[in-house]
A and B are shown apart, each in its own frame.
Chain A
Amino acid sequence: MGFFSFLKNGVKGGRGQAAEGAKAKADRGILIFENTSEVIRAENCLKAAGWPVRVMGPPPEIQRGCDLVIEFPLIERLEIMRLLDEARAVPLEMVPVTGPLLAPVDLFQTVDYGEWLMVRAANMKICIEKATETIVNISGGGCPDVPYLAREMVGKSLAEAPRPREIGHTLCGYALELAHEEIRRQCSAS
Protein backbone atom coordinates (compact mmCIF):
# COMPACT_ATOMS: atom_id res chain seq x y z
CA MET A 1 0.00 0.00 0.00
CA GLY A 2 1.49 3.34 -1.05
CA PHE A 3 1.91 6.30 1.22
CA PHE A 4 -1.04 8.25 -0.09
CA SER A 5 -3.20 5.14 -0.41
CA PHE A 6 -2.59 4.69 3.26
CA LEU A 7 -3.67 8.25 3.88
CA LYS A 8 -6.79 7.86 1.79
CA ASN A 9 -7.89 5.04 4.03
CA GLY A 10 -7.85 7.48 6.89
CA VAL A 11 -5.49 7.98 9.80
CA LYS A 12 -6.20 7.20 13.39
CA GLY A 13 -4.44 10.19 14.85
CA GLY A 14 -1.76 10.68 17.38
CA ARG A 15 -0.22 9.50 20.53
CA GLY A 16 -0.64 12.92 22.04
CA GLN A 17 -3.38 15.04 23.41
CA ALA A 18 -6.68 15.71 21.75
CA ALA A 19 -7.70 19.31 21.70
CA GLU A 20 -11.17 18.27 22.72
CA GLY A 21 -10.46 14.99 24.46
CA ALA A 22 -9.62 11.61 23.06
CA LYS A 23 -13.09 10.80 21.83
CA ALA A 24 -12.92 9.78 18.19
CA LYS A 25 -14.92 11.85 15.76
CA ALA A 26 -15.52 10.81 12.17
CA ASP A 27 -16.57 14.28 11.09
CA ARG A 28 -13.10 15.79 10.77
CA GLY A 29 -10.53 15.72 8.05
CA ILE A 30 -7.03 17.03 7.66
CA LEU A 31 -5.49 18.93 4.79
CA ILE A 32 -1.90 17.94 4.11
CA PHE A 33 0.43 20.36 2.33
CA GLU A 34 3.95 20.23 0.99
CA ASN A 35 5.32 22.62 3.63
CA THR A 36 4.35 24.88 6.51
CA SER A 37 4.29 28.03 4.37
CA GLU A 38 1.50 26.52 2.29
CA VAL A 39 -0.36 25.53 5.46
CA ILE A 40 -0.20 29.10 6.68
CA ARG A 41 -1.37 30.45 3.32
CA ALA A 42 -4.30 28.04 3.21
CA GLU A 43 -5.20 28.80 6.82
CA ASN A 44 -5.25 32.53 6.07
CA CYS A 45 -7.48 31.89 3.07
CA LEU A 46 -9.94 29.62 4.91
CA LYS A 47 -10.16 31.78 8.02
CA ALA A 48 -10.72 34.88 5.92
CA ALA A 49 -13.68 33.06 4.37
CA GLY A 50 -15.02 32.23 7.82
CA TRP A 51 -14.35 28.49 7.93
CA PRO A 52 -13.83 26.99 11.40
CA VAL A 53 -10.42 25.42 10.73
CA ARG A 54 -7.50 24.86 13.08
CA VAL A 55 -3.82 24.16 12.54
CA MET A 56 -2.75 21.01 14.33
CA GLY A 57 0.05 18.47 14.48
CA PRO A 58 -0.13 15.61 11.99
CA PRO A 59 -0.78 12.05 13.12
CA PRO A 60 2.46 10.17 13.88
CA GLU A 61 2.07 8.02 10.78
CA ILE A 62 2.82 11.00 8.56
CA GLN A 63 5.17 13.11 10.72
CA ARG A 64 8.38 14.06 8.95
CA GLY A 65 9.80 16.79 11.16
CA CYS A 66 8.49 20.30 10.95
CA ASP A 67 4.84 19.66 10.14
CA LEU A 68 1.44 21.30 10.47
CA VAL A 69 -1.89 20.18 9.06
CA ILE A 70 -5.27 21.93 8.88
CA GLU A 71 -8.19 20.28 10.62
CA PHE A 72 -11.53 20.99 8.98
CA PRO A 73 -15.16 19.81 9.12
CA LEU A 74 -15.23 16.88 6.72
CA ILE A 75 -18.75 17.54 5.51
CA GLU A 76 -17.56 20.81 4.00
CA ARG A 77 -14.82 19.25 1.90
CA LEU A 78 -16.23 20.25 -1.48
CA GLU A 79 -16.69 23.89 -0.52
CA ILE A 80 -13.25 24.02 1.06
CA MET A 81 -11.58 22.39 -1.92
CA ARG A 82 -13.30 24.84 -4.25
CA LEU A 83 -12.05 27.77 -2.20
CA LEU A 84 -8.50 26.40 -2.04
CA ASP A 85 -8.53 25.74 -5.79
CA GLU A 86 -9.51 29.35 -6.43
CA ALA A 87 -6.76 30.54 -4.09
CA ARG A 88 -4.23 28.18 -5.69
CA ALA A 89 -3.54 26.69 -2.29
CA VAL A 90 -4.35 23.10 -3.13
CA PRO A 91 -3.35 20.49 -0.55
CA LEU A 92 -1.42 17.34 -1.39
CA GLU A 93 -4.14 15.31 0.24
CA MET A 94 -7.42 15.66 2.12
CA VAL A 95 -8.09 12.69 4.39
CA PRO A 96 -10.50 11.79 7.21
CA VAL A 97 -9.12 11.47 10.70
CA THR A 98 -10.75 9.74 13.65
CA GLY A 99 -8.18 10.00 16.41
CA PRO A 100 -6.72 12.84 18.44
CA LEU A 101 -4.28 15.26 16.88
CA LEU A 102 -1.45 17.07 18.59
CA ALA A 103 -2.48 20.57 19.59
CA PRO A 104 -0.06 23.49 19.42
CA VAL A 105 1.23 24.92 22.68
CA ASP A 106 -1.16 27.62 23.77
CA LEU A 107 0.56 28.96 26.87
CA PHE A 108 2.32 32.29 26.90
CA GLN A 109 4.95 33.52 29.31
CA THR A 110 5.57 37.24 29.74
CA VAL A 111 8.66 38.82 31.29
CA ASP A 112 8.62 42.51 32.15
CA TYR A 113 12.14 43.99 32.03
CA GLY A 114 11.03 47.53 32.88
CA GLU A 115 11.78 49.38 29.65
CA TRP A 116 11.36 46.16 27.68
CA LEU A 117 8.72 43.45 27.44
CA MET A 118 9.27 39.85 26.32
CA VAL A 119 6.63 37.27 25.38
CA ARG A 120 7.34 33.59 24.86
CA ALA A 121 5.15 31.13 22.92
CA ALA A 122 6.38 27.54 22.83
CA ASN A 123 10.08 27.83 22.03
CA MET A 124 10.01 31.36 20.56
CA LYS A 125 10.52 34.71 22.27
CA ILE A 126 9.99 38.26 21.05
CA CYS A 127 11.16 41.31 22.98
CA ILE A 128 10.18 44.94 22.39
CA GLU A 129 11.09 48.32 23.78
CA LYS A 130 7.88 49.46 25.43
CA ALA A 131 8.14 53.17 24.66
CA THR A 132 8.48 52.74 20.89
CA GLU A 133 7.14 49.17 20.43
CA THR A 134 10.34 48.49 18.52
CA ILE A 135 11.31 44.82 18.26
CA VAL A 136 14.75 44.64 19.85
CA ASN A 137 15.37 40.89 19.92
CA ILE A 138 13.98 37.56 18.76
CA SER A 139 15.33 34.41 20.38
CA GLY A 140 14.69 30.72 20.84
CA GLY A 141 13.71 28.24 18.17
CA GLY A 142 15.76 25.96 16.00
CA CYS A 143 14.34 26.08 12.48
CA PRO A 144 16.26 27.98 9.79
CA ASP A 145 13.71 30.75 9.40
CA VAL A 146 14.32 32.00 12.95
CA PRO A 147 17.53 33.92 12.09
CA TYR A 148 15.81 35.11 8.91
CA LEU A 149 12.74 36.34 10.79
CA ALA A 150 15.01 38.10 13.29
CA ARG A 151 16.91 39.80 10.47
CA GLU A 152 13.69 41.03 8.88
CA MET A 153 11.91 42.09 12.10
CA VAL A 154 14.47 43.34 14.64
CA GLY A 155 14.83 47.11 14.64
CA LYS A 156 11.33 47.69 13.28
CA SER A 157 8.18 48.59 15.19
CA LEU A 158 5.45 46.03 15.73
CA ALA A 159 3.33 47.95 13.22
CA GLU A 160 6.06 48.17 10.56
CA ALA A 161 7.65 44.74 10.85
CA PRO A 162 6.51 41.95 8.55
CA ARG A 163 4.35 39.35 10.28
CA PRO A 164 5.93 35.95 10.91
CA ARG A 165 2.91 34.36 9.28
CA GLU A 166 3.70 36.30 6.11
CA ILE A 167 7.39 35.46 5.79
CA GLY A 168 7.91 32.47 8.11
CA HIS A 169 7.94 28.91 6.86
CA THR A 170 8.21 26.56 9.86
CA LEU A 171 6.68 25.64 13.18
CA CYS A 172 9.14 27.99 14.89
CA GLY A 173 7.89 30.74 12.59
CA TYR A 174 4.33 29.86 13.48
CA ALA A 175 5.19 29.94 17.20
CA LEU A 176 6.74 33.38 16.71
CA GLU A 177 3.50 34.52 15.07
CA LEU A 178 1.62 33.47 18.22
CA ALA A 179 4.10 35.38 20.42
CA HIS A 180 3.82 38.36 18.08
CA GLU A 181 0.02 38.32 18.29
CA GLU A 182 0.18 38.10 22.08
CA ILE A 183 2.63 40.97 22.50
CA ARG A 184 0.50 43.12 20.19
CA ARG A 185 -2.54 42.23 22.26
CA GLN A 186 -0.75 43.21 25.46
CA CYS A 187 0.43 46.49 23.93
CA SER A 188 -3.04 47.41 22.71
CA ALA A 189 -4.53 46.54 26.09
CA SER A 190 -2.10 48.75 28.03
Chain B
Amino acid sequence: MLCIVGTVPDAGFPLVAGPVRRENDRLAIGDRTVAIHRGTPALVGAVLAAATVLPLPPVEAWLVGDIGRGDGSRRLYAHLEAELPRRPWTVVVFHYLQPDVDWHNRVLFAVEKIHPRPVLIADAGFMYAAKMSGQAREYDLFTPDAGELAFLADEDAPHPFYTRGFILHQEERVPELIQRAYCHANAARWLLVKGQTDHLADGGGIHETVAAPASPAMEAMGGTGDTLTGLAAALAASGMPVERAAITAARVNRLAGHLADPTPATQIAAMVRRIPAALKQVLDESGA
Protein backbone atom coordinates (compact mmCIF):
# COMPACT_ATOMS: atom_id res chain seq x y z
CA MET B 1 0.00 0.00 0.00
CA LEU B 2 1.16 3.45 -0.90
CA CYS B 3 0.40 6.40 1.37
CA ILE B 4 0.81 9.99 0.18
CA VAL B 5 0.89 12.63 2.90
CA GLY B 6 0.58 16.34 2.21
CA THR B 7 -1.52 19.49 2.07
CA VAL B 8 -3.84 21.30 -0.33
CA PRO B 9 -4.03 25.10 -0.62
CA ASP B 10 -7.51 25.53 0.81
CA ALA B 11 -7.90 26.61 4.44
CA GLY B 12 -11.37 25.04 4.60
CA PHE B 13 -10.34 21.63 3.31
CA PRO B 14 -10.84 19.07 6.11
CA LEU B 15 -8.45 16.29 7.03
CA VAL B 16 -9.27 13.42 4.68
CA ALA B 17 -7.57 10.04 4.48
CA GLY B 18 -8.50 7.30 2.09
CA PRO B 19 -8.42 5.90 -1.43
CA VAL B 20 -7.97 8.52 -4.11
CA ARG B 21 -9.01 8.46 -7.76
CA ARG B 22 -8.71 10.76 -10.74
CA GLU B 23 -11.67 12.47 -12.39
CA ASN B 24 -10.44 14.38 -15.47
CA ASP B 25 -7.94 16.94 -14.15
CA ARG B 26 -9.13 16.62 -10.55
CA LEU B 27 -8.46 14.27 -7.68
CA ALA B 28 -11.39 12.76 -5.82
CA ILE B 29 -11.07 11.58 -2.24
CA GLY B 30 -14.15 10.84 -0.20
CA ASP B 31 -16.69 13.47 -1.21
CA ARG B 32 -14.04 16.12 -1.93
CA THR B 33 -12.25 16.98 -5.16
CA VAL B 34 -9.00 18.90 -5.71
CA ALA B 35 -7.54 20.39 -8.89
CA ILE B 36 -4.26 18.85 -10.03
CA HIS B 37 -2.10 21.92 -9.55
CA ARG B 38 1.39 22.26 -8.07
CA GLY B 39 2.09 20.74 -4.70
CA THR B 40 0.82 17.48 -3.27
CA PRO B 41 -2.13 17.30 -5.73
CA ALA B 42 0.41 17.20 -8.60
CA LEU B 43 2.28 14.39 -6.82
CA VAL B 44 -0.94 12.41 -6.38
CA GLY B 45 -1.90 13.13 -9.98
CA ALA B 46 1.39 11.67 -11.18
CA VAL B 47 0.88 8.52 -9.08
CA LEU B 48 -2.63 8.01 -10.47
CA ALA B 49 -1.41 8.63 -14.02
CA ALA B 50 1.29 6.00 -13.46
CA ALA B 51 -1.34 3.62 -12.10
CA THR B 52 -2.90 3.45 -15.56
CA VAL B 53 0.27 1.70 -16.73
CA LEU B 54 1.74 0.07 -13.62
CA PRO B 55 0.21 -2.60 -11.42
CA LEU B 56 0.07 -0.63 -8.18
CA PRO B 57 -1.12 -1.66 -4.73
CA PRO B 58 -3.94 0.42 -3.19
CA VAL B 59 -3.08 4.11 -3.09
CA GLU B 60 -4.27 6.36 -0.28
CA ALA B 61 -3.88 10.12 0.10
CA TRP B 62 -3.87 11.72 3.55
CA LEU B 63 -4.52 15.38 2.91
CA VAL B 64 -5.46 18.48 4.83
CA GLY B 65 -5.99 22.12 3.96
CA ASP B 66 -3.14 24.43 4.94
CA ILE B 67 -2.28 27.80 3.42
CA GLY B 68 0.91 28.21 5.40
CA ARG B 69 -0.38 28.91 8.88
CA GLY B 70 0.60 25.40 9.94
CA ASP B 71 -2.73 24.61 11.62
CA GLY B 72 -3.72 21.98 9.06
CA SER B 73 -0.24 20.48 9.09
CA ARG B 74 -0.34 20.07 12.85
CA ARG B 75 -3.67 18.26 12.65
CA LEU B 76 -2.23 15.97 10.00
CA TYR B 77 0.94 15.36 12.03
CA ALA B 78 -1.23 14.29 14.98
CA HIS B 79 -3.26 12.01 12.73
CA LEU B 80 -0.08 10.47 11.33
CA GLU B 81 1.29 9.81 14.79
CA ALA B 82 -1.87 7.99 15.81
CA GLU B 83 -2.90 6.21 12.63
CA LEU B 84 0.15 5.54 10.47
CA PRO B 85 1.35 2.48 12.45
CA ARG B 86 -2.07 0.81 12.12
CA ARG B 87 -1.62 -0.09 8.43
CA PRO B 88 0.92 -2.24 6.52
CA TRP B 89 2.25 0.48 4.22
CA THR B 90 4.95 -0.50 1.73
CA VAL B 91 5.77 3.07 0.66
CA VAL B 92 5.05 6.34 2.47
CA VAL B 93 5.67 9.70 0.77
CA PHE B 94 5.83 12.82 2.92
CA HIS B 95 5.42 16.06 1.02
CA TYR B 96 4.14 19.63 1.57
CA LEU B 97 3.82 20.01 5.33
CA GLN B 98 4.78 22.90 7.54
CA PRO B 99 8.34 22.05 8.64
CA ASP B 100 8.25 21.27 12.36
CA VAL B 101 11.04 19.27 13.92
CA ASP B 102 9.15 18.13 17.01
CA TRP B 103 6.23 16.82 15.01
CA HIS B 104 8.58 15.26 12.47
CA ASN B 105 10.26 13.28 15.22
CA ARG B 106 6.97 12.05 16.60
CA VAL B 107 5.88 10.87 13.16
CA LEU B 108 9.18 9.12 12.52
CA PHE B 109 8.84 7.41 15.89
CA ALA B 110 5.41 6.18 14.82
CA VAL B 111 6.81 4.87 11.51
CA GLU B 112 9.27 2.73 13.44
CA LYS B 113 6.31 0.71 14.72
CA ILE B 114 5.44 -0.46 11.18
CA HIS B 115 6.83 -3.92 10.34
CA PRO B 116 8.25 -4.47 7.85
CA ARG B 117 9.40 -0.92 7.62
CA PRO B 118 8.01 0.88 4.54
CA VAL B 119 10.11 2.69 1.97
CA LEU B 120 10.22 6.31 3.16
CA ILE B 121 10.35 9.13 0.61
CA ALA B 122 10.43 12.80 1.58
CA ASP B 123 10.33 16.01 -0.40
CA ALA B 124 9.34 19.66 0.18
CA GLY B 125 8.61 20.83 3.73
CA PHE B 126 8.81 17.41 5.31
CA MET B 127 12.27 16.90 3.80
CA TYR B 128 13.30 20.23 5.36
CA ALA B 129 12.14 19.02 8.77
CA ALA B 130 13.82 15.62 8.29
CA LYS B 131 17.15 17.30 7.57
CA MET B 132 16.82 19.78 10.41
CA SER B 133 15.99 16.96 12.84
CA GLY B 134 19.32 15.28 12.09
CA GLN B 135 17.51 12.09 11.06
CA ALA B 136 17.82 12.31 7.29
CA ARG B 137 19.49 8.91 7.16
CA GLU B 138 16.27 7.26 8.28
CA TYR B 139 14.79 7.97 4.83
CA ASP B 140 15.24 5.97 1.65
CA LEU B 141 14.93 8.81 -0.85
CA PHE B 142 15.00 12.60 -0.92
CA THR B 143 14.24 14.43 -4.17
CA PRO B 144 15.78 17.92 -3.82
CA ASP B 145 16.45 20.42 -6.58
CA ALA B 146 19.86 22.12 -6.72
CA GLY B 147 18.78 24.86 -4.29
CA GLU B 148 17.45 22.34 -1.80
CA LEU B 149 20.61 20.27 -2.23
CA ALA B 150 22.62 23.33 -1.18
CA PHE B 151 20.42 23.48 1.93
CA LEU B 152 21.09 19.79 2.66
CA ALA B 153 24.79 20.45 2.14
CA ASP B 154 24.81 23.36 4.58
CA GLU B 155 25.00 21.70 7.97
CA ASP B 156 23.93 24.94 9.68
CA ALA B 157 20.94 25.96 7.58
CA PRO B 158 17.53 25.23 9.16
CA HIS B 159 15.70 26.11 5.92
CA PRO B 160 16.75 26.79 2.28
CA PHE B 161 16.09 30.47 3.03
CA TYR B 162 19.24 30.51 5.18
CA THR B 163 21.64 28.55 3.01
CA ARG B 164 24.96 30.28 3.41
CA GLY B 165 26.23 32.28 0.47
CA PHE B 166 29.42 30.32 -0.03
CA ILE B 167 27.34 27.20 -0.70
CA LEU B 168 25.96 28.33 -4.02
CA HIS B 169 23.40 26.15 -5.74
CA GLN B 170 25.11 25.96 -9.10
CA GLU B 171 24.50 22.95 -11.30
CA GLU B 172 28.21 22.34 -11.81
CA ARG B 173 28.69 22.03 -8.05
CA VAL B 174 26.08 19.29 -7.59
CA PRO B 175 28.65 16.48 -7.07
CA GLU B 176 30.48 18.51 -4.40
CA LEU B 177 27.22 19.41 -2.63
CA ILE B 178 26.07 15.78 -2.66
CA GLN B 179 29.33 14.77 -1.03
CA ARG B 180 28.98 17.50 1.58
CA ALA B 181 25.38 16.52 2.37
CA TYR B 182 26.44 12.91 3.00
CA CYS B 183 29.52 14.02 4.93
CA HIS B 184 27.28 15.76 7.47
CA ALA B 185 24.66 12.95 7.45
CA ASN B 186 22.05 15.29 6.01
CA ALA B 187 20.95 13.11 3.10
CA ALA B 188 18.65 10.13 2.73
CA ARG B 189 20.00 6.72 1.72
CA TRP B 190 19.46 7.84 -1.89
CA LEU B 191 19.30 11.32 -3.34
CA LEU B 192 17.65 12.10 -6.66
CA VAL B 193 18.76 15.66 -7.43
CA LYS B 194 16.58 17.20 -10.10
CA GLY B 195 17.91 19.86 -12.45
CA GLN B 196 19.30 20.39 -15.94
CA THR B 197 20.89 17.01 -15.30
CA ASP B 198 19.26 14.67 -12.78
CA HIS B 199 21.72 12.92 -10.45
CA LEU B 200 21.13 9.69 -8.53
CA ALA B 201 23.56 9.36 -5.64
CA ASP B 202 24.16 7.67 -2.34
CA GLY B 203 26.92 7.94 0.24
CA GLY B 204 29.30 6.26 -2.20
CA GLY B 205 28.87 8.98 -4.81
CA ILE B 206 26.91 9.55 -8.01
CA HIS B 207 25.60 6.35 -9.57
CA GLU B 208 23.69 7.62 -12.60
CA THR B 209 22.74 10.80 -14.39
CA VAL B 210 19.95 11.65 -16.84
CA ALA B 211 20.18 14.73 -19.06
CA ALA B 212 17.82 14.00 -21.96
CA PRO B 213 15.39 14.91 -23.21
CA ALA B 214 15.97 18.48 -22.05
CA SER B 215 13.12 20.98 -21.70
CA PRO B 216 14.57 24.11 -20.04
CA ALA B 217 11.10 25.58 -19.54
CA MET B 218 10.36 22.87 -16.95
CA GLU B 219 12.44 24.75 -14.39
CA ALA B 220 9.94 27.60 -14.43
CA MET B 221 6.90 25.33 -14.20
CA GLY B 222 5.42 24.75 -10.77
CA GLY B 223 4.93 21.06 -10.01
CA THR B 224 7.56 19.31 -12.12
CA GLY B 225 9.44 18.25 -9.00
CA ASP B 226 6.20 17.05 -7.43
CA THR B 227 5.46 14.78 -10.40
CA LEU B 228 9.00 13.41 -10.22
CA THR B 229 8.57 12.46 -6.56
CA GLY B 230 5.19 10.93 -7.34
CA LEU B 231 6.63 8.83 -10.14
CA ALA B 232 9.46 7.59 -7.92
CA ALA B 233 6.89 6.62 -5.28
CA ALA B 234 4.65 4.85 -7.78
CA LEU B 235 7.54 2.88 -9.27
CA ALA B 236 8.80 1.93 -5.79
CA ALA B 237 5.28 0.83 -4.84
CA SER B 238 5.16 -1.33 -7.97
CA GLY B 239 8.04 -3.33 -6.53
CA MET B 240 11.13 -1.69 -8.03
CA PRO B 241 14.13 -1.13 -5.77
CA VAL B 242 14.06 2.50 -4.72
CA GLU B 243 17.21 3.49 -6.62
CA ARG B 244 15.88 2.01 -9.85
CA ALA B 245 12.50 3.61 -9.23
CA ALA B 246 14.20 6.99 -8.78
CA ILE B 247 16.25 6.93 -11.97
CA THR B 248 13.33 5.53 -13.99
CA ALA B 249 11.15 8.33 -12.60
CA ALA B 250 13.71 10.88 -13.78
CA ARG B 251 13.55 9.49 -17.31
CA VAL B 252 9.74 9.37 -17.35
CA ASN B 253 9.35 12.87 -15.92
CA ARG B 254 11.69 14.33 -18.52
CA LEU B 255 9.93 12.53 -21.33
CA ALA B 256 6.48 13.58 -20.09
CA GLY B 257 7.71 17.16 -20.03
CA HIS B 258 9.15 16.84 -23.51
CA LEU B 259 5.88 15.36 -24.84
CA ALA B 260 3.95 18.30 -23.36
CA ASP B 261 6.19 20.67 -25.40
CA PRO B 262 6.19 23.17 -22.54
CA THR B 263 6.75 26.90 -22.37
CA PRO B 264 7.45 28.60 -19.03
CA ALA B 265 3.70 29.32 -18.91
CA THR B 266 2.62 25.67 -19.21
CA GLN B 267 0.70 24.35 -16.20
CA ILE B 268 1.51 21.02 -14.59
CA ALA B 269 -1.76 19.30 -15.50
CA ALA B 270 -0.63 19.33 -19.15
CA MET B 271 2.42 17.31 -18.19
CA VAL B 272 0.53 14.89 -15.95
CA ARG B 273 -1.62 13.97 -18.96
CA ARG B 274 1.56 12.83 -20.79
CA ILE B 275 2.80 10.59 -17.99
CA PRO B 276 1.12 7.34 -19.10
CA ALA B 277 2.64 7.56 -22.61
CA ALA B 278 6.04 8.52 -21.25
CA LEU B 279 6.02 5.77 -18.63
CA LYS B 280 5.02 3.13 -21.16
CA GLN B 281 7.78 4.24 -23.54
CA VAL B 282 10.48 4.24 -20.86
CA LEU B 283 9.43 0.83 -19.52
CA ASP B 284 9.30 -0.62 -23.05
CA GLU B 285 12.80 0.71 -23.82
CA SER B 286 14.19 -0.69 -20.60
CA GLY B 287 12.55 -4.07 -21.18
CA ALA B 288 10.72 -3.88 -17.86
| A contact residues vs B (CB 8 Å cutoff) | 14-17, 35-37, 57, 60, 63-67, 102-107, 111, 113, 115-116, 118, 120, 122-123, 125, 127, 129, 136-151, 154, 168-175
Pair B39/A147 contact, Cβ less than 8 Å? yes
Q: A146: shortest Cβ distance to chain B, in Å?
A: 7
Q: CA of A38 to CA of B72 in the docked complex: distance in angstroms?
A: 18
With beta carbons under 8 angstroms apart, the residue of A107, A144, A172, A175 that contacts B165 is: A107
Q: Indicate if B216 sits at the interface (CB-CB under 8 A).
A: yes
Contacts beyond the supplied A35-B70, A145-B9: 17 A-B pairs with Cβ under 8 Å: A16-B157, A57-B158, A57-B159, A63-B132, A65-B128, A65-B158, A66-B125, A116-B263, A123-B147, A127-B264, A137-B220, A137-B264, A142-B99, A146-B96, A147-B39, A154-B222, A175-B160
Q: Indicate if B163 sits at the interface (CB-CB under 8 A).
A: yes
Q: CA of A147 to CA of B72 in the docked complex: distance in angstroms?
A: 14
Give the number of residue pairs across the A-B interface with Cβ within 8 Å. Answer: 189
Pair A105/B264 contact, Cβ less than 8 Å? no
User: Which residues of B are found within 8 Å of A151, using beta-carbon distances?
Assistant: 9, 37
Q: A148: shortest Cβ distance to chain B, in Å?
A: 4
User: Which residues of B are found within 8 Å of A36, using beta-carbon distances?
Assistant: 68
Q: CA of A146 to CA of B168 in the docked complex: distance in angstroms?
A: 22
- In which size bucket is the chain B interface? 35 or more
| B contact residues vs A (CB 8 Å cutoff) | 7-9, 37-41, 66-70, 72-73, 96-102, 123-129, 132, 145, 147-148, 151, 156-165, 168, 216-217, 219-225, 263-267
What are 9 sample pairs from A and B whose C-beta atoms fall under 8 A apart? A57-B161, A65-B129, A102-B157, A123-B147, A142-B128, A143-B99, A150-B38, A169-B69, A175-B160
Q: B77: shortest Cβ distance to chain A, in Å?
A: 11
- Which residue of A has the minimal Cβ distance to B128? A142
With beta carbons under 8 angstroms apart, the residue of B38, B100, B147, B157 that contacts A65 is: B100
With beta carbons under 8 angstroms apart, the residue of B125, B129, B219 that contacts A125 is: B219
Pair A111/B219 contact, Cβ less than 8 Å? yes
User: Which residues of A are found within 8 Å of B124, using beta-carbon distances?
Assistant: 141-143
Pair A113/B70 contact, Cβ less than 8 Å? no
Pair B156/A169 contact, Cβ less than 8 Å? no
User: Which residues of B are found within 8 Å of A154, using beta-carbon distances?
Assistant: 222
- Which residue of B has the minimal Cβ distance to A55? B161
Pair B125/A143 contact, Cβ less than 8 Å? yes
Known: A102-B158, A116-B265, A147-B37. A142 touches B127 (CB 8 A): yes
With a 10 A CB-CB cut-off, give which of A116, A148, A175 has the most chain B CB atoms.
A148
Known: A14-B156, A169-B69. A144 touches B220 (CB 8 A): no
